[in-house]
A and B are shown apart, each in its own frame.
Chain A
Amino acid sequence: MDKAGSPSRLPGRSSGLAVLAALVCAAPILAVAWIALTRDSGDYLQHLAQTRLPVYLTTSALVALVAGGGAGLIGTTLGWLIARTDFPGRKTLSWVLILPLAVPAYVAAYAWLDLSQAGGPLDAVTDGLFPTIRGGVGAGLMFALVLYPYVYLLARDTFASQSADAYNAARTLGAGPLTAFWRTSLPMARPAVAAGLALVAMESLADYGTVSHLGAPTLSIGLIRAWSGAGSLVDAARLSLVLVFIALVVFGLERAQRSRARSVNASGRHKPAPRLALNGGPALAAMAACLTPLLLGMIIPLGRLVWLAAHTETATGLAAASLHSLTLAGITALIAAALGLATAYSLRSRTTIATLAARAAGLGYAVPGAVAAVGVIAILSGTQALIDPAWRALTGEVFPILLTGTGAALVFAYLSRFAAAAISPSETALARITPSLDGAARTLGATRRRRVWHIHWPLIAAGVTSAGLLVFVEVLKELPATMILRPFNYDTLAIIAHNFASDERLGEAAMPSLLIPLVALLPMIFVARYLSRQDR
């Protein structure tokens, strides 16, 4: 960590703001921690430790491993194929491969269990040979299939911008394409892959809907059960601290990957590598590799829903719900992208406080949305209570309910949950801007503003836009926090889909479920075009 005189270091003012913003994202989690540590509770946790806790922990590990392993394999392979090879359909697939991200994991789970359960179509066709998609492995697979785009997006961008030098050197020294990939390209992409995997792992640990439906008792099931079954919010808050701890470990591992990789990028030379043109068999294999996850993660589950939708009446209120979903997702994505970029910049200052704040902001990703919502409620109602005495003196009434129960509370919760998704890509993008680049620009007399707009922005635009897109899609799918915090009469697509699906009325859940990826499609196409324009 060379701290002194780093030319990219930004003045304290701007990093101070970013630190504040990051702490805002962390605030709900801190509030939950405060509830966990200051309020009294009974002996429920003791009871849990003696009964179900070991199962919760092992199932969580299994789910995270299967999800991470699957998403890592799919995302890295596809990222490399799209970035470094050429085959028919590659350009379209480049953005189509992101789309499974718009399928909520619980929707995929509902469809796959429906297809594969005893008596379901797959079970009948294969005469009982097709395994029922359930349990820790089943849930992990669902996450891998709909979350691999995290890894794919980051890996693709990294592979695309990698210098060909190391790969070419390896080839010159006699390594085959695969070995060269394994020994040079992959290690260089490791920070990006690790960042994606961290998101996949955290999201699968924080999930409730999927694991609950597929019968995979993870820690978040135990947490919600402590809340709903034992009625103890304090115990739920304490269990969520365990999740936060796991998040610290996961993000710590990701950091370790990143810092080791720093030296690899140090040369700062970017000689774009020529794409490997695939023809015949290899081209078909590449297409099959791309289509398989699309088929399993999106086309088959959504196809099942279309089939079911054709057999049921369409639910009402879908147009309004689409608008609500778009509004919430759009606003949050813009704020989150700005916040993620600001935090990433403040991280470049490499001050301890900036690092801590950014890590804390990322922790929200580790806790279930319902817990983040509890933190938001605690903060906002606490704030309102603080205003009360003054307000009462002025008007004789309690302060009106302006904070909780409005869109503001929701956006607050979303930011807390998904800030990590916005910080990581921006950080990865900024990491590509080497200090020597800034140095050169400064030597040539570029002002700081000029450096940021004319040198940094073109290089990081793709990463920042991806960050916004990730948050956008996350918000479209988000369920528990939306349910608890939304204003009156404010249904979103995810809520309508879930309400029907939780009653196992998959036919009626089908249309709103289908609309989520469709609604995501427009901004995605826009972003995909924007990104390919940036492609050098």
Chain B
Amino acid sequence: MNSVKLLAAAAGLALAACSQPATDTASGETEAAAEARVVNVYSARHYSSDATIYAAFTEATGIEVNLVSANGDQLIERVRADGERSPADVIITVDAARLHRAEQAGLFAAADYSDLASGIGANLVDPEGYWVSFAKRSRVIAYSNDRVQPGEITTYEDLADPRWLGRICVRESGNAYNQSLLASMVAHLGEDGAQAWAQGIVDNMAREPQGGDRTQINGIAAGECDVAILNHYYYAMMVNSDDPAAQAAAAAVTLLFPSQETSGAHVNVSGAGIAVNAPHPAEARALIEFFFSDTAQRAFAEMTNEIPVRSDVSWDNPTLAAMLPFVEDDLNVSELGDHNETAQRIFDRVGWQ
């Protein structure tokens, strides 16, 4: 172990010259007030537009933002391992199941978000009060304008019908959004019903899963498949793209928000909570409040094509506006976390790659 420390210390010294100035730690609390205020953010969001939001936050509050972004599970492990000395103030993920997992690992401080959450839909707030959602994304269906009639498909369940044999494009099951969609099916149909549905999708696949959500739209445009499952903002991204090929592919499909008469379209969230050992809890609270500001909500709609949780904020994005409103699944998103492992095992059993 000595050598481990030695090497780490040596490397640390070598890096000291070029690494970031140390963020104030627990031991520096007394001086913290005199220094510039900071908030340390661990975020699974990796959108470059978030930099704009953080800059606006610093402008408005004088609080500097320190950011680490990584995959949600990795962030959770890092905060968990650092324990009491973790510098994390705010933890942000883009999947409700990850928020749930962080909560289960005891990483969030209990807080009262009711003032922020009023009017955003009770299904978007953790029932235990550990985290709150600030932007929504829906997992929807796209179908070919040429080969599918409007009305031919209306629900998620329709996709498992043999009539779609060899006609579905969808990405791999390791993807968190697919897992949460299946978790919602588990909540609605039970484990057996969800497995039958997943088996139906696998049987109907036009090709082995590959690529991301945009790849699936390209698949329809190229005639490899007729329907696809994807997050709504990938379609919006293609419509709003400067690339003519992407625009053309998007123009070949129609986006459908499924199950409008039944369970509603599946909704997942970007959400945040305050870390249980946050060195700067007040600043953390300020940042989460800022995510609900007009500025941030508008940025989500205009820059990442996410659906703002507040419906009373105006923004300019005709592509997104054309999709709204739609009937949302009112399942509390924390249930997506409850059923995540079940969903994972179903994927394995039905051989959804």
Contact = CB atoms under 8 A, between A and B. Distances in A.
Q: Taking each of B18, B75, B176, B209, which has the highest tally of chain A beta carbons within 10 Å of its own beta carbon?
A: B18
Q: Taking each of B51, B66, B74, B209, which has the highest tally of chain A beta carbons within 10 Å of its own beta carbon?
A: B74
A138 to B, nearest CB: 9
Contact of B51 (A132, A316, A407): A316
A230 interface: yes
A230 B18 CA distance: 38
For the complex, would chain A's binding face be called helix, strand, loop or mixed by DSSP majority?
helix
A490 interface: yes
A90 interface: no
- Which 10 residue pairs are nearest across A and B when measured between Cβ atoms? A119-B222, A407-B15, A118-B222, A408-B12, A229-B344, A488-B66, A499-B46, A215-B210, A118-B224, A51-B348
B170 to A, nearest CB: 11
A525 interface: no
Interface stretch (A5-13, A68-76, A392-400, A422-430): A392-400
A403 B8 contact: yes
Given A47-B348, A113-B211, A315-B48, A398 B77 contact: no
B19 interface: yes
B234 A23 contact: no
B174 A51 contact: no
Nearest to A133: B210
Contact of A395 (B27, B210, B343): B27
Given A24-B7, A331-B11, A118 B340 contact: no
A111 to B, nearest CB: 12
B289 interface: no
B4 A405 contact: no
A215 B211 CA distance: 7
Contacts of B344: 225, 229-230
Contact of A490 (B19, B27, B81, B209): B19
Contacts of A406: 12, 15, 19
Given A214-B210, A228-B176, A383-B8, 5 more contacts: A55-B353, A405-B78, A483-B69, A489-B68, A490-B19
A224 B71 CA distance: 11
A138 B15 CA distance: 39
Contacts of A524: none
Interface of A: 20-21, 23-24, 27, 47-48, 51-52, 55, 113, 117-120, 123, 132, 134-135, 212-215, 217, 221, 224-225, 227-231, 233, 308, 311-312, 315-317, 323, 327, 331, 335, 370, 373-374, 377-381, 383-386, 395, 397-409, 411-412, 415, 480, 483-490, 499-500, 502-505, 507-508
B77 A405 contact: no
Contacts of A386: 1
B12 A221 contact: no
A504 B213 contact: yes
B48 A378 contact: no
A23 B1 CA distance: 10
B34 interface: no
18 contacts: A52-B348, A118-B222, A119-B223, A224-B174, A231-B73, A311-B242, A312-B243, A379-B4, A384-B85, A398-B85, A400-B25, A400-B27, A401-B86, A404-B81, A405-B82, A483-B70, A490-B19, A503-B46
Contacts of B222: 117-120, 123
A59 B280 CA distance: 47
A117 B211 contact: yes
Interface in B217-263: 218-219, 221-224, 234, 237, 242-243, 245, 249
B210 A113 contact: yes
Contacts of B86: 401
Contacts of A480: 74
A484 B77 contact: yes
B324 interface: no
Contacts of A373: 74
Interface residues of B, number: 77
For the complex, would chain B's binding face be called helix, strand, loop or mixed by DSSP majority?
helix
B218 A120 contact: yes
B220 to A, nearest CB: 9
B208 A215 contact: yes
Given A21-B3, A504-B212, A504-B214, A400 B74 contact: no
A484 B7 contact: no
A21 B77 CA distance: 27
B25 A401 contact: yes
A296 B19 CA distance: 37
A484 B211 contact: no
B341 A499 contact: no
B179 A229 contact: yes
A120 B223 CA distance: 12
B323 interface: no
A505 B237 contact: yes
Contacts of B218: 117-120
Contact of B8 (A21, A55, A380, A503): A380
A108 B19 CA distance: 30
B316 interface: no
Given A381-B83, A405-B82, A490-B20, A397 B26 contact: yes
Contacts of A214: 210
Contacts of B1: 383, 386
A14 to B, nearest CB: 15
B282 interface: no
A134 B207 CA distance: 11
B85 to A, nearest CB: 5
A150 B217 CA distance: 37
B115 to A, nearest CB: 29
A408 B19 CA distance: 10
A448 B25 CA distance: 49
Contacts of A113: 210-211, 215
Contact of B23 (A51, A123, A224, A488): A488
Given A48-B348, A327-B18, A487-B19, A408 B9 contact: yes
Contacts of A331: 11, 14-15
Contacts of B245: 119
Interface in B1-46: 1, 3-5, 7-9, 11-12, 14-15, 18-20, 23, 25-27, 40, 46
Interface in B163-211: 172, 174, 176, 179, 208-211
Contacts of A212: 172, 174
Q: Taking each of A323, A377, A502, which has the highest tally of chain B beta carbons within 10 Å of its own beta carbon?
A: A377
A508 B176 CA distance: 23
B9 A488 contact: no
Contacts of B223: 118-119
